Amino acid sequence: MNLRSFEIHVTDNDMNDCDDPARSRPYRQTTRADAAEATARRIVDAFGECLRSRWFDELTLEEVAHRAGVAARTVIRRFGGKEGLLKAFAEDFIPAVGASRATPPGDVEAAIARLVEVYEAWGDGVFRNLAQEERHPALTPLLDRGRSAHRAITEANFAPWLDRLAEPDRRRTLDALVAATDVYAWKLARRDMGRSREETAILLRRLVDAVLAQASALASAAGSRR
């Protein structure tokens, strides 16, 4: 093979494509943004883990930073402090719980199963936050979003019964369903009575079934009067 017979044509563009700052800058910016977002996600997740197992006044930014693998100043620079972390956590956590509790309307068994699954993971932390809300008003926005989401999810789950009722029976029935599936009902059975997860699910199902039976009776009575 005669190497002299080969001609290599190289243009300035070929040589400079990889070194052109204008071309590489968007990639570097995207990479930095992705890394910053991943860091923020780790911090918020770490805060959630702390919130699940700590009283709010015991929770420290240093612990959050340690769990996230960053310096405390990184947490402060990104979120400011506990209130900023609470806001970021609520914006992510509440929709995620709503998605995990979504079931086909009218599927009572699935609704109860998803509810118990959420309470097994977060019930103790939620109850702890409720117990200290008066002492730490910064928790109120998170808890208010949780209360509102619980009512909306309950309304969607049991819409086939609720939609047959006129006011005020519809509102009263929804109130009863919200109470029957509240974290306090789970805590009463699971922690105070010491019932198993399975027994707790059965108890909640019986409460819900009783409310739904009354709702059906009210709907039937209203229909017979028409």
211 and 176 Cβ atoms separated by less than 8 Å: yes
At residue 8, does pLDDT exceed 60? no
Higher pLDDT, 10 or 143: 143
Per residue in 32-61, pLDDT tens?
A: 787 889 999 999 999 999 999 899 999 999
At residue 23, does pLDDT exceed 70? no
Q: How confident is the model at residue 19 (pLDDT cuts 50, 70, 90)?
A: low
Per residue in 117-143, pLDDT tens?
A: 999 999 999 999 999 999 999 999 999
**Rounded CA separation 10/189 (Å):** 77
At residue 7, does pLDDT exceed 80? no
**Rounded CA separation 135/35 (Å):** 36
Question: What residues have CB less than 8 Å from 210, skipping those under 6 apart?
Answer: 180
If we measure between CA atoms, which residue out of 195, 211, 203 comes closest to residue 157?
211
Other CB atoms within 10 Å distance of the CB of residue 76: 13
What's the mean pLDDT in 87-104?
94
Per residue in 185-219, pLDDT tens?
A: 999 999 999 999 999 999 999 999 999 999 999 99
**Rounded CA separation 191/3 (Å):** 83
